Amino acid sequence: MAIPTLNTNDTEDKPMSKVMIIGAGGVGGVVTHKCAQLPEIFTEIVLASRTEAKCQAIAAQLSRPIRTAQVDADNVPELVSLLQKEKPELVINVALPYQDLTIMDACLEAGVHYLDTANYEPQDTAKFEYHWQWAYQQRFLDAGLTAILGSGFDPGATNLFTAYLAKHYFDEIHELDIIDVNGGDHGYPFATNFNPEINIREVSAECRHWENGEFVTTPAMSMKAHYTCPEDVGTFDIYRMYHEELESISKHFPSLRRAQFWMSFSDNYLKHLEVLENVGMTGIEPVEFQGQSIVPIQFLAHLLPDPSTLGPRTKGRTCIGCIVRGVKDGREKVMYLYNICDHESCYQEVQSQAISYTTGVPAMIGAKMILQGKWRQPGVWNVEQCDPDPFMEDMNLYGLPWKVVELNPAFHLDIAQS
């Protein structure tokens, strides 16, 4: 299942590792900070985005110089000419999911490795699916280039937590519950912790979970559970929803009988979302307004606080992890692997809240894995197909330490209809 690990000495004699980060939002800021902290790996950094002033604002926060550039990542020729001019070894795509395919096309044309944190989604259909990107497998193979998909936290760390548990603690895994709790508070009545348009499209979509070899569809937010996090993070209502890593994990771990994703939401958040949905503000179809065509969700995103400005206001901790049930040596067991991340500590380190931090750090580590030759097999790969061990070691070193505990086999989430 794992990609054969390449010789890590492969790049030790290679001094130059120039990286281009595309997207200067909340996540882009964290990735840039974290790459800048490792000059021996990321010897040169270019930060490119639609609005160069945002790249320059991030560059001004750093203690080492980086280059910035303006680029429209929807435009392949523009991307190719920037890549040919800058000649990076790798692109870290932290723009929006809409740009995944154009950036992959440009990487193929310019001969550059690729990594992202979210799967492609067409702007006019709220569908998170991997088939568009998996279809690039042969082209990346033929070009001898690596594309790593979904190296954020979820997807990303959660896929690797699953792979790590499967590798070290089980002969076969049967059930997976990914639990994403944000115990933080930014003080706004309603704001999203990452790009509002993508966030709202995700949480208002129908729920799908994996059960007995197929995806089962249920209404959005219709199932919930109370969940008490470890280390006094608190007790939260978590809701079952579709999340993109379920598609790749259920494919790459065919022994899974059930895989579900849960996220915490406050009553306040859900009430706002319900009202916004009821009045049509979350719609993705254009509507005519005073002679102009506007997309309601884009207008709503414009009105909501920019997630990259939430850092100084957010207090509390996140707790994201995977509970896996399976068998080892004929015995049923349940393991829980999780990370807890403090919003205020993230802000002190990289001027960002923990949601962008927990996405940006795994993106940096995934990029480091490619540049060091540890995950550099030509083709298109989801992170759980790669060796989890060096990634997990780096999580502990670079700001996202994790713990693994064994739970009582009698453990079950107290699931109820909401």
Nearest-CB residue for ligand NDP? 25
Q: Which are the contacts of 97, defined by CB distance < 8 A and separation ≥ 6?
A: 118, 119, 120, 121, 128, 198
Binding status of residue 382 toward ligand NDP by CB under 6 A: no
For the bound state, the minimum distance from the C-beta of residue 158 to ligand NDP, rounded and expressed in Å, comes to 8
For the bound state, the minimum distance from the C-beta of residue 118 to ligand NDP, rounded and expressed in Å, comes to 3
Choice between 97 and 296, CB closer to ligand NDP: 97
Choice between 169 and 398, CB closer to ligand NDP: 398
CA distance 229 to 105: 42
- Binding test (CB under 6 A) with ligand NDP, winner from 47, 91, 92, 94: 94
Quick one: angle between helices 100-110 and 76-86, nearest 10? Answer: 50
**Amino acid found at 253:** F
- Binding test (CB under 6 A) with ligand NDP, winner from 34, 54, 186, 317: 54
335 in helix, strand or coil?
strand
Binding status of residue 88 toward ligand NDP by CB under 6 A: no
- Binding test (CB under 6 A) with ligand NDP, winner from 136, 194, 227, 338: 194
CA distance 280 to 373: 48
Part in contact with ligand NDP (CB under 6 A); list of ranges 46-54, 209-217, 266-274, 399-407: 46-54
Part in contact with ligand NDP (CB under 6 A); list of ranges 26-34, 127-135, 207-215, 225-233: 26-34
- Binding test (CB under 6 A) with ligand NDP, winner from 88, 155, 326, 366: 155
The total of other beta-carbon atoms located within 10 Å of residue 98's CB is 17
Scan residues 319-378 and list those touching ligand NDP (CB under 6 A): 359
Binding status of residue 8 toward ligand NDP by CB under 6 A: no
Choice between 307 and 373, CB closer to ligand NDP: 307
What is the rounded (10 degree) CA torsion for 29, 33, 364, 359? -40
220 in helix, strand or coil?
coil
Part in contact with ligand NDP (CB under 6 A); list of ranges 11-19, 24-32, 159-167, 256-264: 24-32
DSSP 221-270: T-EEEEEEPSTT--EEEEEEE--THHHHHHHH-TT-SEEEEEEE--HHHH
Interface with ligand NDP: number of residues (CB under 6 A)? 32
Q: Where are the beta strands (DSSP E) in 97-247?
A: 113-116, 146-149, 172-182, 207-211, 214-218, 223-228, 235-241
For the record, the structure tokens of 163 come out as: 């792979």
Binding status of residue 243 toward ligand NDP by CB under 6 A: no
Match 């414009």 to its residue by tokens.
302
Binding status of residue 78 toward ligand NDP by CB under 6 A: no
Match 């453990």 to its residue by tokens.
411
CA distance 327 to 409: 11
Q: Across-strand partners of 335?
A: 324, 406
Binding status of residue 162 toward ligand NDP by CB under 6 A: no
- Binding test (CB under 6 A) with ligand NDP, winner from 17, 32, 49, 353: 49
For the bound state, the minimum distance from the C-beta of residue 172 to ligand NDP, rounded and expressed in Å, comes to 27
- Binding test (CB under 6 A) with ligand NDP, winner from 95, 115, 191, 323: 95
CA distance 251 to 273: 32
CA distance 264 to 277: 19
- Binding test (CB under 6 A) with ligand NDP, winner from 42, 136, 140, 153: 153
Scan residues 110-129 and list those touching ligand NDP (CB under 6 A): 117-118
2 in helix, strand or coil?
coil
Part in contact with ligand NDP (CB under 6 A); list of ranges 93-101, 254-262, 264-272, 278-286: 93-101
For the bound state, the minimum distance from the C-beta of residue 329 to ligand NDP, rounded and expressed in Å, comes to 34
Choice between 160 and 229, CB closer to ligand NDP: 160
CA distance 43 to 368: 11
Q: List contacts with ligand NDP (CB under 6 A).
A: 23-28, 49-51, 54, 71-74, 94-97, 99, 117-118, 152-156, 194-195, 198, 307-308, 359
